[in-house]
Chains A and B, each alone.
Chain A
């Protein structure tokens, strides 16, 4: 194999990936690269093609066309070695109904020679009290935590997490985030599929926004918001009808009044200029608040609609 550029820091390369199911194009010409130790996110609404993409990378689905390399391996050719080196948490899968939690961990650990760290995983993911419970008796969140633990049991170099925190309560979600950061700190590359904005913002170093099979944008969460969601928002309460005209300020883009709340959108220093103008008119709101642009706004800009879960 002759590669023009041999960059070993890239653990995943995807070039012009396409996958169609009969006449439906689920993934349409997607390309990206992921570096070692990165938390890379795929964010998009239902049916965007996220699961299809990551399952092609894991060799669980055959892509229609395009080139995939994971850890330098082609999932279509070196699937055996690839599976030993990656970890998978799949969106839809189950375990035998009557298998016990510890049996599943022990079984999956037996694939890796000399592996016996599954007890620590059981503890980390808060499953110790359920060690002897059968899979079918677990709650949704407990099943999910078991699947994450199983994805990590072989000390993977790359771990794929597809909707990792679906079904977890807020405490468990934040716990999961901390554990994912810890896994990355140990050098594991993480591919995170999600449709939660806060999760993507909190965890991902870089983020691909996908919609209808297409990759619309790829950058850090900050990079995305500063590029696609430039408008900041400010809001305050005011009931009177002698509000000075904000539109005169060049940095202000939009003013809306809903009930007793005034919402102003703008760029750059508009908040300070607006506040000065208000004070000059003797209006001193005591609840002026600003909101930084979020991924939600990025998504709205890119697709024209809000992400729907």
Chain B
């Protein structure tokens, strides 16, 4: 436990010293929120059909919280872990009883903390800058955030375990990131997307995190189907990551 604590602390510091992941986790989602706020911020058209009947920013604020998770899961974690493997850091740690499990666990904890921080930043900006009303049901929102965060972190651990090089992780990660950014519920208003775009969007984990968060936020209750999808991703990714790591070590 002492070692895991120390390792988590070190990994936290390393995260803070890494400008690129800092940018993807904290700055980029916030930046998009402000861009979308600039474009759609004045629109409050309840009932007009756009944004599933929500005001634009009530729609986008949960979406960009989900983008923080996406960034942590598909860009930050895989890049970091594959870099460790490629450069022999994992081997060096392993030789000194810092097993790959501990490193993955520490990374999971750091990711959860940074995701929470990034999410809170979006929430604050949404509420104070764009006057989005606070969640109807804070408990559901926190729960939705936690489940989604854990799913994306598991996905990140899996990608980090499977992808062979940091170059591969960068390629795959950025493609996934931008596909989810555009089609996964944080891009154009759903009503402005073609049928095909929406179908593809529905295949992205992010779209389901977005819907789960939005529904909880708007007081539409707990969306069991979206929760099931998120929990499924969590279980499958975590199991697969465990199997891959066990086979390789």
Please, which residues of chain B bring their CB within 8 A of the CB of A110?
2-3, 6-7
Q: Is the CB of B94 within 8 A of A60?
A: yes
Residue A83 at the chain B interface, CB threshold 8 Å:
yes
State in angstroms the CA–CA spacing of A189 and B204 once bound together.
Answer: 55
Residue B247 at the chain A interface, CB threshold 8 Å:
no
State in angstroms the CA–CA spacing of A113 and B96 once bound together.
Answer: 14
**Closest chain A residue to B16, Cβ basis:** A98
State in angstroms the CA–CA spacing of A60 and B97 once bound together.
Answer: 11
**Closest chain B residue to A106, Cβ basis:** B6
**Closest chain B residue to A113, Cβ basis:** B2
Residue A96 at the chain B interface, CB threshold 8 Å:
yes
Shortest CB distance A103–B (Å) = 6
- For window 1-45 of B, CB contacts with A under 8 Å fall at 2-3, 6-7, 10, 13-14, 17-18
A85-93, A233-241, A249-257, A300-308: which one contacts chain B? A85-93
Per-residue 0/1 for A66-108: is the Cβ within 8 Å of any B Cβ (1 yes, 0 no)?
0000000000000010011001101011111011000100111
Helix, strand, loop or mixed for chain B's interface?
helix
State in angstroms the CA–CA spacing of A16 and B59 once bound together.
Answer: 68
State in angstroms the CA–CA spacing of A60 and B100 once bound together.
Answer: 13
Interface size on B, residues (CB 8 A): 20
Q: Is the CB of A98 within 8 A of B17?
A: yes
Give the contacting residue for B88; candidates A92, A107, A113; CB below 8 A. A92
State in angstroms the CA–CA spacing of A60 and B94 once bound together.
Answer: 8
Q: Is the CB of B95 within 8 A of A60?
A: yes
Residue B92 at the chain A interface, CB threshold 8 Å:
yes
Residue B162 at the chain A interface, CB threshold 8 Å:
no
Shortest CB distance A96–B (Å) = 5
Residue B91 at the chain A interface, CB threshold 8 Å:
yes
Give the contacting residue for B10; candidates A84, A92, A103, A154; CB below 8 A. A103
Say yes or no: A99-B2 contact (C-beta < 8 A), given A60-B91, A93-B91, A154-B96: no
Please, which residues of chain B bring their CB within 8 A of the CB of A84?
97
Q: Is the CB of B89 within 8 A of A96?
A: yes
Say yes or no: A99-B95 contact (C-beta < 8 A), given A93-B89, A94-B89, A106-B6: no
State in angstroms the CA–CA spacing of A113 and B97 once bound together.
Answer: 13
State in angstroms the CA–CA spacing of A294 and B101 once bound together.
Answer: 48
Shortest CB distance A217–B (Å) = 29
State in angstroms the CA–CA spacing of A90 and B92 once bound together.
Answer: 7
Shortest CB distance B107–A (Å) = 11
Per-residue 0/1 for A102-145: is the Cβ within 8 Å of any B Cβ (1 yes, 0 no)?
01001110110100000000000000000000100000000000
Please, which residues of chain B bring their CB within 8 A of the CB of A90?
88, 91-92, 95
Q: Is the CB of B96 within 8 A of A150?
A: yes
State in angstroms the CA–CA spacing of A106 and B7 once bound together.
Answer: 10
**Closest chain B residue to A104, Cβ basis:** B10
Shortest CB distance A57–B (Å) = 11
State in angstroms the CA–CA spacing of A99 and B103 once bound together.
Answer: 14
The 6 closest A-B pairs by CB, nearest first: A93-B92, A93-B88, A88-B95, A110-B6, A98-B17, A94-B87
A-B contact pairs, 14 of them (CB 8 A): A60-B95, A80-B97, A83-B96, A83-B97, A87-B96, A94-B88, A96-B10, A107-B6, A107-B98, A108-B96, A111-B96, A113-B2, A150-B96, A154-B96
Which residues of B does A touch, CB under 8 Å? 2-3, 6-7, 10, 13-14, 17-18, 84, 87-89, 91-92, 94-98
Which residues of A does B touch, CB under 8 Å? 58, 60, 80, 83-84, 87-88, 90, 92-96, 98-99, 103, 106-108, 110-111, 113, 134, 147, 150, 154
